[in-house]
Structure 1
Amino acid sequence: MRPTLPILFAEKDIQQVRVTQMVQAALVAGTVLGGSLAAAGPAAASPDSAAASPESVCGSGYQEIDSHDLPGLATVYLLYNGSTNCVVTKKTAYEGKPTFISAGVDTSPPTWEVGKTVDQGEFKYYAGPKYVHAPGKCVSWAGSAAPLGQQNPDLDHIFFSQPSHCD
């Protein structure tokens, strides 16, 4: 079931809200909007590791360059190793219990292709890692989390970056 996201903005922002809703629906509901240029990354840390840091999940050489808090549920981390971006959404609540969580990274403008640039599902500790090799391009990164027993995140727990970290 695709979530319905309410319009909470002024009339002048309707076009941006519609685009945002489409992207949110793609990340939250798993709709594939198109292709992307994602690169495979190194092997990830065990998905059952509460102690795994975002750096260990992405692999050797990755360092955090940005993050966004999803209040009371998770933090979305953007990491970089000099050529490739990695995103991980790590839970801060309900650790060890499967709850919906997602992580995504793509070149801008993003296509948010589930499985290729987006990892989502009911995980115990984190979503991701997802990678994009984007030399000379801006990246968009995203994540979401839902509380225990809820299938879809509310708007306070969905994050989409503007195009950023243009290397």
Structure 2
Amino acid sequence: MRFSRSVLAASAVAALAMGATTALAAPASAAPNTTPQKVCGSGYKTVNSAAVGSLGTVYLTYNSTNGKNCVTTIRTNPGTARDMSAWIYVSDTDAGDQDYGTYTSYAGPTYVYGKAHCVDWGGSIDNVYVQVYGSNCAALREHRVTFTR
């Protein structure tokens, strides 16, 4: 009888330990499964970002080797596909790129040559939209707009 109790006690401790490990591991699955550099490319560095409410972040990145900017919108909690977008525009060259669709993790990448130019960029997740105008223009101040539809 004594052996049975110790086996039961050991089993109970093991089950509790497994449950604790599972409980501690669960939040890791809520973390984004990508980064702006994974989406845009290894030569791109984040130069600006804007929160899309609590749903995610739009990132503006720049590659000094090729002079291009890249924008991607990354969800905070990937999962079921949702309407998302990422876009970038350079008004003085009339160049732009956009990506709109239904995605589980991120929208983009979108690219435009932006060396020595002000850029407008933004993105959305569901009905939350972020727009940044006149960004990365040296001494000029950018203008940010966040709205829902």
TM-score range, shorter chain: 0.5 to 0.7
From the two aligned structures, give the one with the greater strand fraction: 2
* Pairwise CA RMSD: 2.0
Give 1:56 shift: 1.1
Give 1:58 shift: 0.3
Q: Deviations 1:57-79 (Å, cap 9, x if unpaired)?
A: 10021111111001121110000
The whole-number CA distance in structure 1 between the counterparts of 2:105 and 2:99 is 13
Where does residue 57 of structure 1 map in the other structure? 39
Alignment of 1:14-163 (within 5 A): 50-82=32-64, 83-93=67-77, 95-108=78-91, 117-146=97-126, 153=127, 157-163=128-134
Runs of 4+ in 1 over 2 A off after TM superposition: 108-112
From the two aligned structures, give the one with the greater helix fraction: 2
Where does residue 34 of structure 1 map in the other structure? none
The whole-number CA distance in structure 1 between the counterparts of 2:51 and 2:93 is 21
Structure 1's 144 and 111: CA in aligned 2 closer, same or farther, altered over 3 A? Answer: farther
The whole-number CA distance in structure 1 between the counterparts of 2:135 and 2:75 is 23
| Contact map agreement 1:108 1:163 (CA 8 A) in 2 | no
Normalising by structure 1, we get a TM-score of: 0.58
* Structure 2: runs of 5 or more not aligned: 1-31, 139-149
Give 1:110 shift: 8.9
Q: Deviations 1:35-92 (Å, cap 9, x if unpaired)?
A: xxxxxxxxxxxxxxx5221111100211111110011211100000111100000011
The whole-number CA distance in structure 1 between the counterparts of 2:63 and 2:130 is 23
The whole-number CA distance in structure 2 between the counterparts of 1:92 and 1:117 is 23
The whole-number CA distance in structure 1 between the counterparts of 2:82 and 2:106 is 10
Identity of paired residues, percent?
37
The whole-number CA distance in structure 1 between the counterparts of 2:117 and 2:46 is 18
Query: Which structure: larger Rg?
Result: 2
Normalising by structure 2, we get a TM-score of: 0.64
- SS of the residue corresponding to residue 57 of structure 1 reads helix
Number of residue equivalences: 105
Structure 1's 136 and 111: CA in aligned 2 closer, same or farther, altered over 3 A? Answer: closer
